[in-house]
Each structure stands twice: as C-alpha cells, then as structure tokens.
C-alpha cells in the first residue's frame, strides 16, 4: 500500500473560528512528510505550493519522496471565490482552465502521474442564483478543454456535496461520472474522497466499482467524517467497515495509485495524527489482503447474507 498526504495539511489550517498549527514553507512540509512513518508520497497544490519544477524536483529527491498527484487549485484566488469553471464570465473560466493546464505542465515537468481538481467554489448558495443550463454547459466545455490538454497527464475531478458553496456543482460521484461521460475523454477520472462520498450519501466502495466499470479511472483520498460535514478525521475513526469495504474493492481492481490522506489534524499533534491514519489504513489494507475475496464474492453470488455477516463479524470486526 502506497500512502501519501496533501501537504497543505502539514502547515497552518483554519476554520471559521480557529487557526491550527503554524505556517510552513513547501520545503518544511516535505521535510515533515519524510518524518511521518507510513508516508512516502506527496500531493502538492499548484500554483500555491509549487515554485519551479527544478527546485521542487530537487526537494523531492532530497527527502526521498514520490509523487501521488498535483492538485490544481481553482478556488483559492479571490477572483474564483464565487466559482471558476462554470461561471458566466468567460475570462474567469479561461483563467481556471489555464490553472489546470499549468498544473498539467508542472506535473509533466516533475514526473507526477496525474492532476486532480476539486472545483469547490462552483455551485450555488441560494435558489435562483445560477443558470443551471449554462453552468452545466460551461462545466462540460471547461473541463473538456482541460482534459484535452496534455492527455498523457490524466485529469481527475473531485466531487463534494457542499463547502465552500452550499450546493456544489459536482455534488456526487454520479454527477461527476455524468460530466466525464458527456466529455468522453478516457484520460480522466474521479478523485474518490471517502469523506466527500459519504457526505453525498454514497457508499465509497460501490462508487469506486461504478466509476471503474464505467471506464473511468479512480484516485482515492482517505479520511472520515460524521456525514454531516467534511471533518477530515482519521480514516476508520467513524466508518470502519466502510473503509474496509473500499479497500477490499480497491484491491479487487488492482488499485496501484497512492492512497492520499486528505485529513486535517486540527487539535491533534501533526505527526501523531498522520501516523495513526497511516497505521489504521495499512492495518486495514493488510486485513483485506488476508481475506479470501473469492469466498466473499461466491457468497454474494449465492445471496448467502447470513454467512457474509458471520464472516464480517469473525474476520473483519474480530469479535
């Protein structure tokens, strides 16, 4: 199991009320990844954490780290706070597409496998705010253009039900799949964030399977929450069996990308928090690898629900 981290969470984070931890340079964040037992991969935000490809490549080499993904941020800049890829203003949409293209150029230059983008500011807060017809058409157009550029660096889109908009444009894995089907570019995929998926009342394992069976790729972000908000907790801390099931099916499909931690330490010590996340994730991965998947799938085919729950109790919960 390859585990990585979105390095933004190693610096200062904030919510509406508090600030947590302290600001760090990209170098300091990478140095910290090296100290966390269980991580050797990095997801880095472009353009906010990147400098020149040469500089970043040298840092990655210095700390012996590998690339999970480059994250194209199309929400942070003040001009994007009310949306980017689906906005009615063409110049804003063009600038958002340019950032994704820039992230793809950067990924290619440093040897990162793909770009992921979570367009959180696209959507609406009140009803009668957005022209749904035009917003959807713009989304197809802008994501389509970004996907077409440098196809050797695939583009992954990350859905989320809400935050920062009350209702995000890509509010579920299903909506994202629909967008990718409309665009019809095979060099695309879904960034399946465990916490986002359960916030959308989905089952992450089922959405991993559905996306792959629809012919699109999947990249996994790991964390947990209470399904009401995106709390970015340690994996398995609230939805243990759902995490086990996601890793079960990821293994069935031969998932070989990084499992990237999209979790926020907040009140926890930074290194301890990520080590506990890495530890439970690896523990579940090892557990899943010791399960007889053929036996489970045979029982599913036979609709033997009683034996399945008995196995879950005995082999997964171990009680």
If the CB atoms of residues 193 and 217 are measured against Mn ion, the closer one turns out to be 193
CB of 262 to Mn ion, least distance (A): 4
How many residues line the site for Mn ion (CB under 5 A)? 3
Closest CA to 205 of 186, 214, 218, 215: 218
Find the part of the chain contacting Mn ion (CB under 5 A) among 57-65, 90-98, 226-234, 258-266: 258-266
Query: Coil, strand or helix: which one is 168?
Result: strand
If the CB atoms of residues 138 and 259 are measured against Mn ion, the closer one turns out to be 259
DSSP labels for 244-282? HHHHHHHHHTT--S-EEE----TTS-HHHHHHHHHHHHH
CB of 302 to Mn ion, least distance (A): 36
Tracing tokens 């293994």 back to the chain, one arrives at: 251
Assess contact for 219 and 248: CB atoms under 8 A.
no
CB of 303 to Mn ion, least distance (A): 35
If the CB atoms of residues 193 and 224 are measured against Mn ion, the closer one turns out to be 193
Rounded Cα distance between 279 and 273, Å, is 10
Instruction: Work out whether 262 is an interface residue with Mn ion (CB under 5 A).
Output: yes
Find the part of the chain contacting Mn ion (CB under 5 A) among 80-88, 192-200, 267-275, 307-315: 192-200
Find the part of the chain contacting Mn ion (CB under 5 A) among 41-49, 73-81, 187-195, 280-288: 187-195
Find the part of the chain contacting Mn ion (CB under 5 A) among 99-107, 166-174, 226-234, 255-263: 255-263
If the CB atoms of residues 130 and 191 are measured against Mn ion, the closer one turns out to be 191
CB of 223 to Mn ion, least distance (A): 7
CB of 316 to Mn ion, least distance (A): 25
If the CB atoms of residues 59 and 173 are measured against Mn ion, the closer one turns out to be 173
Assess contact for 122 and 90: CB atoms under 8 A.
no
DSSP state of 314: I
How long a stretch of residues is the chain? 319
Work out the burial of residue 260: count CB atoms within 10 Å of its CB; fewer than 13 is exposed, 13-18 middle, 19 or more buried.
Answer: buried
Phi first, then psi: what are they for 282, rounded to 5°? Answer: -65, -40
Phi first, then psi: what are they for 187, rounded to 5°? Answer: -90, 45
If the CB atoms of residues 45 and 311 are measured against Mn ion, the closer one turns out to be 45
If the CB atoms of residues 130 and 204 are measured against Mn ion, the closer one turns out to be 204
DSSP state of 238: S
**In the chain, how many H helices and how many E strands?**
11, 12
CB of 142 to Mn ion, least distance (A): 20
**What stretches of 88-179 adopt beta strand conformation (E)?**
115-117, 123-124, 155-157, 167-168
CB of 237 to Mn ion, least distance (A): 16
CB of 136 to Mn ion, least distance (A): 23
CB of 158 to Mn ion, least distance (A): 5
If the CB atoms of residues 92 and 114 are measured against Mn ion, the closer one turns out to be 114
Tracing tokens 């790729």 back to the chain, one arrives at: 217
**Residues 212-231 close enough to bind Mn ion by CB under 5 A:** 221
Work out the burial of residue 9: count CB atoms within 10 Å of its CB; fewer than 13 is exposed, 13-18 middle, 19 or more buried.
Answer: buried
Find the part of the chain contacting Mn ion (CB under 5 A) among 45-53, 61-69, 228-236, 260-268: 260-268
If the CB atoms of residues 221 and 239 are measured against Mn ion, the closer one turns out to be 221
Tell me which residues touch Mn ion (CB under 5 A). Answer: 193, 221, 262
């Amino acid at each position: 199991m390859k585990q990585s981290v979105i390095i933004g969470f190693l610096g200062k984070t904030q919510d509406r009320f508090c600030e947590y931890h302290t600001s760090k340079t990209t170098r300091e964040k990478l140095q910290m990844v090296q100290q966390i037992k269980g991580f050797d991969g990095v997801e880095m935000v472009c353009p906010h954490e990147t400098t020149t490809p040469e500089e970043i490549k040298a840092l990655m080499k210095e700390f012996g780290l590998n690339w999970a993904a480059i994250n194209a941020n199309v929400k942070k800049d003040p001009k994007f706070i009310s949306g980017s890829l689906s906005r009615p203003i063409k110049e804003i949409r063009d600038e958002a597409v340019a950032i994704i293209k820039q992230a793809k150029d950067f990924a290619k230059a440093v040897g990162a496998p793909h770009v992921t983008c979570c367009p959180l500011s696209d959507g609406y807060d009140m009803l009668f705010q957005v022209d749904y017809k035009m917003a959807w058409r713009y989304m197809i157009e802008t994501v389509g253009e970004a996907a077409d550029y440098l196809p050797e660096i695939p583009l992954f889109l990350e859905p989320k039900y809400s935050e920062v908009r009350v209702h995000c444009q890509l509010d579920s894995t299903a909506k994202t799949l629909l967008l990718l089907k409309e665009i019809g570019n095979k060099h695309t995929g879904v960034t399946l964030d465990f916490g986002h998926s359960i916030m959308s009342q989905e089952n992450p394992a089922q959405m991993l399977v559905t996306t792959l069976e629809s012919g699109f790729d999947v990249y996994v972000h790991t964390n947990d929450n209470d399904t009401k908000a995106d709390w970015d907790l340690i994996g398995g801390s609230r939805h243990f069996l759902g995490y086990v099931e996601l890793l079960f099916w990821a293994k069935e499909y031969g998932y070989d990308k990084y499992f990237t931690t999209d979790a926020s330490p907040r009140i926890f010590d930074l290194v301890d928090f990520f080590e506990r996340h890495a530890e439970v994730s690896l523990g579940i991965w090892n557990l899943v690898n010791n399960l007889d998947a053929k036996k489970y799938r045979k029982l599913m085919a036979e609709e033997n629900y009683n034996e399945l729950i008995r196995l879950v109790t005995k082999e997964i919960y171990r009680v």
